[in-house]
Amino acid sequence: MNSEPARPTIAAGDHQSYMQYALEQARRSPPSSTNFCVGAVLVEPETNDILSTGYTLEIPGNTHAEQCCFMKVAQAHQITEERLSEVLPKNTVLYTTMEPCNKRLSGNKTCVERILGLKGAVKTVYVGIKEPEKFVGQNEGRKRLEDAGVGVEVVKGLEDQILVVATAGHETVNK
């Protein structure tokens, strides 16, 4: 893992700044033609503490940003990811530059399954953009999360920047 820079102080409820911080994480992802560069930030909304950050491929193994956030909290508490609901504050909020995946071509557990496996600890997921249909087609993750009682809110204003970072390393087609 790379050393993590100092965490910023962000005002409670400043969704734009948290998404900007998640975008900073995404920029740390190694560009690849086979995945998206995504960043995520896990926040305790009562104290406004940043619990963890993550980005695509931060931890070895085909890891996604949200997965890295969760793995780092689990490692810090010396527990398995499956036990995270025991240590995460209730109403934990997840900011992610891209809608959590609902299907993985690698066969790994999806980010939606990971969030749902937290037994309600994550109450709201703020996303910067929907997942482009490039790899798995339409992502039904938002619907699955909402059907399970997890709020999904789109933070507008950074879509173009997020998409440029997310698709770093992808082949572009000239029009």
pLDDT digits (tens, 9 = 90+) for 56-110: 999 998 899 999 999 999 999 999 999 999 999 989 999 999 999 888 766 688 9
Catalytic residue chosen out of the listed positions 58, 66, 99, 131: 66
146 in active site: no
Judge whether 132 lies within some domain.
yes
pLDDT at 12: 85
Angle, helices 65-77 vs 15-26, to 10°: value is: 90
77 against 175, higher pLDDT: 77
Task: Kindly give, in sequence order, each residue whose CB lies less than 8 Å from that of residue 129, ignoring residues fewer than 6 positions away.
Answer: 97, 98, 99, 154, 159, 162, 163, 166
Domain annotation covers residue 6: no
Q: What's the chain's Rg over C-alpha atoms?
A: 15
88 within domain boundaries: yes
Structure tokens at 22: 């998640």
Full-prediction pTM beyond 0.85? yes
Count of the separate structural domains present in the chain: 1
Question: 28 lies in which domain range?
Answer: 15-166
Instruction: Say if residue 4's pLDDT is above 70.
Output: no
| Residue 67 in domain | yes
State pLDDT tens for residues 122-148: 999 999 998 766 655 566 888 899 999
172 falls within a domain: no
Q: For the chain, give the mean pLDDT.
A: 88
| pLDDT over 90 percentage in the chain | 62
Does some domain include residue 3?
no
CATH of the domain at 29: 3.40.140.10
Is 20 a domain residue? yes
